[in-house]
Structure 1
Amino acid sequence: MFTADEIRQITFEKVMRGYRPEDVESFMENIADEFEALEKEKRDLEEKLYLLAEKVEQYKAEEESIKTTLINAQRLGESIVSDARVKADNVIREATIKKNDIISSAYNEIEGTEEVLNRLRKEVSDFKRNILSLYKTHIESLSTLPDERAEEQHEEIVEEELVQEETVMDEPVQETVAVEEPVVLEDKFKSVSSLFNEE
């Protein structure tokens, strides 16, 4: 393929009755100019194509970088979500364990309190029963003691019998004597028992 300079340097042999040399040279000069313009345009286009190719490669590299960035961001997001889920599960598990420990401790404390309360109730009941039994025993013991009024009546009866034996030897002596029962202490025992039963 000729260049513009090569076209300008082409010479033709002169023959008789041929083309005029001036016209041929003018035509060749025009062709050379147009060819030179085409070459320049070609170089410009090649340069632009080269620049476009570089841009394309740059865009491809940027695309790969963007893809890598997106992939890394996606992986990072998945990692963050996974870590958040693990932490949330750990928090929920620890909270559940603490809740169960608190509930278990509360139940144990309630059971212990109920045991203490039941033991205290039993001790109070045993105490009341022992006190009542002891008081009843004392009441029964006191009931066996002679009453002062009964003792006086007994002495009066004995004196009357002696007088009657001295004055009337042949008359039968009436020995039936009404002796009052000691009811005062028993009434006190009933009052005390009613006080314990009210509790």
Structure 2
Amino acid sequence: MRIEYLKSVLRQDVGYFDNQEAASTTFQVISTISSAAHLIQDTIAEKIPNCLAQLSSFFISLGVAFSLSWRLTVAALPFSVLFIVPALGFGRVLKDLGSKSNGAYGVAGGIAKQAISSIRTVYSYVGERQTLDRFSSALQKSMELGVKQGLIKGMLIGSMGMVYANWAFQAWIGSILIIERGEQGGLIFACGICVIWGGL
């Protein structure tokens, strides 16, 4: 896969490389190809199976919840959608920050690869301090992006407090269904867990 990707990159016109700021020099082209191949491998190996498992869990949980108590499921389903909204919003921001961070790491990695590949030249011209300063300044951007990513991840985890609001709403509706509609408490409890699990 990496060979085919390299062939497709090498088939591009020269103007393509002028437009790509992350692939402007030789070491950055190689670094970009390597990181893109890792992203493709990560997607095929981990993300697609996880997506299929989560989607099947969502549909099966909601199907079981409807079979246990359709009234509670219909009442609580809009709250379950509120689990998805923060994940989509924060996920988009995290995706953008992740791509910027990968670019910043690519620049720093390119500086390190270039310095290591031509270590004799760097050493003979006493360029260690200059190379170290360039590497440190390239990592500064990735550190700032990492702090932003940490903040967004914390807000995403904090937004999962919606689970407790959903559970409280289900307990209230469930108690009404048990008292007035004569539904069984165990089925209501199991239905509530299925709705929350499907939403998560």
Question: Under TM normalisation by the shorter chain, which class is it?
Answer: under 0.3
Bigger radius of gyration among the two: 1
Higher helix fraction: Structure 1 or Structure 2? 2
Which structure ranks higher in relative contact order (CA pairs < 8 Å, sequence separation ≥ 6)? 2
TM-score normalised by L of structure 2: 0.27
TM-score normalised by L of structure 1: 0.27
